Amino acid sequence: MATAAAGALGLLWGWLWSERFWLPQNVSWTDLEGPGDGYGYPRARHILSVFPLAAGVFSVRQLFERFIAKPCALHVGIQDSGPYQAQPNAILEKVFISVTKYPDEKRLEGLSKQLDWDVRKIQCWFRHRRNQDKPPTLTKFCESMWRFTFYLCIFCYGVRFLWSSPWFWDTRQCWHSYPYQPLTNGLYYYYIMELAFYWSLMFSQFTDIKRKDFLIMFVHHLATIGLITFSYINNMVRVGTLVMCLHDASDFLLEAAKLANYAKYQRLCDTLFVIFSAIFVVTRLGIYPFWILNTTLFESWEMIGPYPSWWLFNGLLLILQVLHVIWSYLIARIAFKALIRGKVTYPGRIRPRLCTLHSFLTSFLFSMPGGSWTVSSLACI
């Protein structure tokens, strides 16, 4: 029995790391054992270093939120208090938990007769009870400030690193001598830090306040981790850095807009949201397909030719492009409706004012299908 199990595991392991799937023709894992420069060539065992680093990132986040983000939140006037607590009522609590959180008119009238309460009072009770389950604004501000700080720092590092990288200026360099492309220190740190951050988000989901989009974001983080890990093992890290930096370009702007919203700086929030929307559309619908997909589909086909993992990688990137189109459409549609609905007339001019960012993001978040490598910053509001 033990021998059979060992044989089955051996077959599974051999299939999982099949050279025919992962590598171009006439290339073996043995060929990539050479030292190269820096960290040599990307190896699957390098990924193991991510886990202690992710734990370190999570610890830094705890310190950051407590000693930096929280004082900033208090400074801009965000109160260190939870939502208004609904008056305890066993009957209404049972309806809220077991039946509905949004009772219709007929149910409200029935509860009014049963409790001898005014319908408006019952509506207020349900509203307060729903608000109890929402995380406090202070908590949301601290989480967004942490993500804003990380996204901004990693984006700046990515731009600085890529500025001196030849494949940033000529994407054909992504495939020159592939897969014999040594892993430099800067590239290794960039990849591992991004991967560690997403693993830390995966950990924190189980300790943070539980939100209604828990499963969506869990799938999102899992897909992001899978794509980054896949491209690393397959040594498609050069084009991977371009993809990561491109998506990081708008992430920190969204978090900045959320921070302004929590602090009730509405005009700043609206401005940042408009900038975020413009950069999101330009990078996802312009630069991504004509720069990234062009090199992964056409230049790589010409220089290295297709092989099984090449098809899978490009398939995932094409699915990502479909999601970009969907998300951009949702942003444009919801923002347009908010703009029309929220026009405020002032003497001598009309100033279009977006509805609250919270409403927009909530609608957008529940319309998106748990993405990958993209809107990681769209965590629960």
Q: Which of 236-245, 308-317, 340-349 has the highest mean pLDDT?
A: 236-245
Q: What is the pLDDT of residues 216-263, one digit of tens each?
A: 778 778 888 888 999 998 899 999 999 999 999 999 999 999 999 999
Higher pLDDT, 26 or 193: 193
Token pair of 110, please? 């029935």
Domain ranges of the chain: 34-77+135-340, 90-133
With bands split at pLDDT 50, 70 and 90, how would you rate the model's confidence at 365?
very low
Range from 1-15, 37-51, 125-139, 320-334 carrying the lowest mean pLDDT:
1-15
Residue 242, pLDDT score? 96
Looking at domain 90-133, what is its CATH homologous superfamily? Answer: Homeodomain-like (1.10.10.60)
Rounded-to-integer distance, Cα 368 and Cα 229, Å: 23
List CB contacts of 197: < 8 A, sequence separation 6 or more: 54, 57, 150, 154
The string of DSSP letters for 62-95 reads HHHIIIIIHHHHHHTT--S--PPPPPP-HHHHHH
Residue 147, pLDDT score? 93
With bands split at pLDDT 50, 70 and 90, how would you rate the model's confidence at 97?
confident
Could you tell me the CA-to-CA distances from 45 to 39, 41, 50 in Å, in that order?
12, 11, 10
With bands split at pLDDT 50, 70 and 90, how would you rate the model's confidence at 19?
confident
Residue 150, pLDDT score? 96
Could you tell me the CA-to-CA distances from 205 to 208, 216, 218, 365 in Å, in that order?
5, 11, 8, 16
Nearest to 177 by CA among 19, 31, 30, 22: 31
With bands split at pLDDT 50, 70 and 90, how would you rate the model's confidence at 374?
very low
Nearest to 179 by CA among 34, 15, 311, 289: 34
> Strand, coil or helix: what is 346?
strand
Higher pLDDT, 13 or 270: 270
Rounded-to-integer distance, Cα 158 and Cα 156, Å: 5
The helix or strand, by DSSP H or E, that contains position 154, with its residue range, turns out to be helix 137-163
The secondary structure of 16-46, three-state, reads HCCHHHHCCCCCCHHHHHCCCCCCCCCCHHH
With bands split at pLDDT 50, 70 and 90, how would you rate the model's confidence at 358?
very low
Average pLDDT over residues 160-165: 95
Please answer whether residues 227 and 315 qualify as being in contact, where contact means their C-beta atoms are separated by less than 8 angstroms.
Answer: no
Higher pLDDT, 289 or 132: 289
Rounded-to-integer distance, Cα 235 and Cα 230, Å: 9
Higher pLDDT, 263 or 342: 263
With bands split at pLDDT 50, 70 and 90, how would you rate the model's confidence at 37?
low
Range from 123-127, 188-192, 211-215 carrying the lowest mean pLDDT:
211-215
Could you tell me the CA-to-CA distances from 300 to 171, 236, 318, 368 in Å, in that order?
10, 11, 15, 31
Rounded-to-integer distance, Cα 18 and Cα 13, Å: 8
Residue 363, pLDDT score? 45
Residue 352 confidence (pLDDT) above 60: no
Higher pLDDT, 187 or 338: 187
pTM (two decimals): 0.81
Residue 367 confidence (pLDDT) above 70: no
The helix or strand, by DSSP H or E, that contains position 252, with its residue range, turns out to be helix 237-262
Token pair of 206, please? 């189980």
Residue 344 confidence (pLDDT) above 70: no
Q: Tokens 């960039």 belong to which residue?
A: 190
Q: Tokens 């044989």 belong to which residue?
A: 7
Residue 101, pLDDT score? 85
Please answer whether residues 143 and 379 qualify as being in contact, where contact means their C-beta atoms are separated by less than 8 angstroms.
Answer: yes
Average pLDDT over residues 287-293: 95
